[in-house]
Structure 1
Amino acid sequence: MQRPFYPEGPELAHLYLLHPPGGLVSGDALSFDIALGANAGALLTTPGAARIYRAREAATGQHQSVRLSLAAGSSAEWLPMETIVFPGAEARLDTRVDLAADSRFIGWEICCTGLPASGERFARGQLRQSFRLYREGRALLVETLNLDMVDERLYQGRAGLAGQNVSGLMVATLPAPPDDETLEALRSLGPGQQPVLSVTAVDALLLLRYLGPCTQQARGLFESAWRYLRPGVLGRSACAPRIWST
């Protein structure tokens, strides 16, 4: 972790999480265990895309685990760059967020399968991905993707990824269920574009999902939503990490 930055004052730190090798090879296990104390605040991001490289012939898997625990009155923003899963990878990506009764959270995860810029499809390999969000031990959201390219139906089917290589999930805990104006403002970010951007609410939990061809486009949509939602969730205007401009 680089030294913390405080562009918004001492109450909220901007933290950049570094993994010097830049990616995971066969047998690697990378774990982030992040705990925020009472009334603490942190924005967490990464300086570049994470990479899950092709596994060896023995198909020894690669595993990344992220665990965030938020104490009473704290807030966390989990805003990493995308994860690129190379063709032939055997990847497992698990994220779990545990909230106290009054802690606040905004986060996203974006995943690209294959190397579209090089014309390489994710024609073989596996991706097992989960995102779990709990408040006081009660599950608010449990998302699971189990993609095995031995059978491409999930990848190609409209009920799955519809042949798109980039998927993203963004979640935000709101102080109250969102009104129609909020939902329409967020949905207006996506219409007229080829990729899918959906916006739904489950009580006071807001969910945005992206499905399309471009990680930059996914990040742009999620960043716009983050700028819109942050004042209502954290009581702060958007302050983008400096690393995003480099």
Structure 2
Amino acid sequence: MTAAAAGGLRAGGVHAAARITAVADGRGGTALPLLAGAGPFALRRTRATGRGAQVTVIGAMSAPLGGDRLELSAEVGAGAELTVTSAAATISLPGTSGEPATYDVRLGVGQDAALRWLPEQLIAAAGSDLRMTTRVELAAGARLVYRDEQVLGRAGERPGRLTTRLTVHHAGEPLLDQELSFGPGVPGWDGPAVLHRYRAVGQLLVVSPHFAHEPPAAAILAVDPDSGQAVSAPLAGPAVLVTAVAPDALCLRRLLDAAMRTLLPNGDGSGAHHPKTAAAERVSVAR
């Protein structure tokens, strides 16, 4: 295999980048003038509902492995709507170099544009070490639905090490900046102050102009601690953050799906429950 075929294969791992650009097509829809993938990233336009476009990220090779350097960016122009999904979970695996892998995601959403970022889970397999950073830049009036799910180890397996940082700016101002770190070598990550007995953690960030005037109240969402726990909290901006922990990926997805139905009754982020309604409602988690 040549370096070009691998998207930048080097002794220390694969170096590859993928880019997505979505723009309003002038006819009430969304066009994709740039859809470029390399290495482990195969990008496919898939069927979408409404006037937006949808792109599915398909893994073309095992990644990230130790030493890999991966980048994925998506830019949504003013008035456009884009949904990004993935065909399968991303599994972080150990490599032969002994180096950590890095995965950098950059997302930009323009004025009156919308991005739904809904990939499958990120799984930290035993022996792996992944450093992932996500930076989101939102213009005024932009809408965002961002789901992030992390699973520590495959079934019956010890977890790998995983560090993620999410930074979000809205209209040039900081909205959210947080870092999570789990796995071998991280002090206290499996203690009662952090994950304790849970091995799946996720969050759902919803940004909508609607929340500037009618933010939902903070709420405890989960009703069965054995199936996980979740809380919803408004941020200092037009946004709500749901944080959840669960024993496995299935329970985690149920928690976040239920939270999404509560926050997005229209399914696209264009509306939200009245704050009194959202405060009174509690999510029922399937047992």
Q: Structure 2 length normalisation: TM-score? A: 0.72
Cα displacement string for residues 26-84 of structure 1 (whole angstroms, at most 9, x for unaligned residues) = 2212211110111000111111100100233x421111111110111100011110000
Return closer, same or farther for 1:33/1:148 CA change in 2, 3 Å cut-off: same
Match of 1:235 in 2: 270
Pairs aligned (count): 224
Question: Which of the numbers 58, 68, 77 marks the counterpart of 1:28?
Answer: 68
Question: Which of the numbers 244, 256, 259 marks the counterpart of 1:225?
Answer: 259
What secondary structure does 1:164 align onto?
A: coil
CA offset at residue 22 of structure 1? 4.0
**Equivalent residues in 2 for 1:87-236, closer than 5 Å:** 87-115=126-154, 117=155, 119-122=156-159, 125-147=160-182, 149-151=184-186, 153-174=187-208, 175-176=210-211, 177-180=214-217, 187-188=220-221, 190-194=222-226, 195-203=228-236, 204-230=238-264, 231=266, 234-235=269-270
**Segment drifting more, 41-50 vs 138-147:** 138-147
Match of 1:240 in 2: none
CA offset at residue 112 of structure 1? 0.7
Question: Which of the numbers 67, 78, 93 marks the counterpart of 1:38?
Answer: 78
Q: Structure 1 length normalisation: TM-score? A: 0.83
User: Per residue, is there more helix in 1 or in 2?
Assistant: 1
Report the RMSD for the aligned CA atoms in angstroms.
Answer: 2.1
- Asked if 1:7 is matched to 2:49, the reply is yes
Cα displacement string for residues 199-236 of structure 1 (whole angstroms, at most 9, x for unaligned residues) = 11124321111112111111122122223323286337
User: Per residue, is there more strand in 1 or in 2?
Assistant: 2
Higher RCO (C-alpha under 8 Å, 6+ residues apart): 1
Match of 2:98 in 1: 59
CA offset at residue 85 of structure 1? 0.6
What secondary structure does 2:44 align onto?
A: coil
Runs of 4+ in structure 1 over 3 Å off? none
Cα displacement string for residues 166-225 of structure 1 (whole angstroms, at most 9, x for unaligned residues) = 110111113124244xx55xx44x112421111111243211111121111111221222
Rounded to whole Å, the distance in 1 between the matches of 2:75 and 2:110 is 8
Rounded to whole Å, the distance in 2 between the matches of 1:212 and 1:224 is 14
Match of 1:243 in 2: none
Rounded to whole Å, the distance in 2 between the matches of 1:75 and 1:200 is 21
Cα displacement string for residues 79-116 of structure 1 (whole angstroms, at most 9, x for unaligned residues) = 1100001111111111111100110101111001112x
What secondary structure does 1:178 align onto?
A: coil
Q: Which amino acid aligns with 1:197?
A: A
Rounded to whole Å, the distance in 2 between the matches of 1:160 and 1:96 is 24
Return closer, same or farther for 1:49/1:200 CA change in 2, 3 Å cut-off: same
Give the unaligned 5+ runs of structure 1: 238-246
Between the aligned residues of both structures, percent identity stands at: 22
CA contact (8 A) 1:131 1:142 kept: yes
Give the unaligned 5+ runs of structure 2: 1-42, 273-287
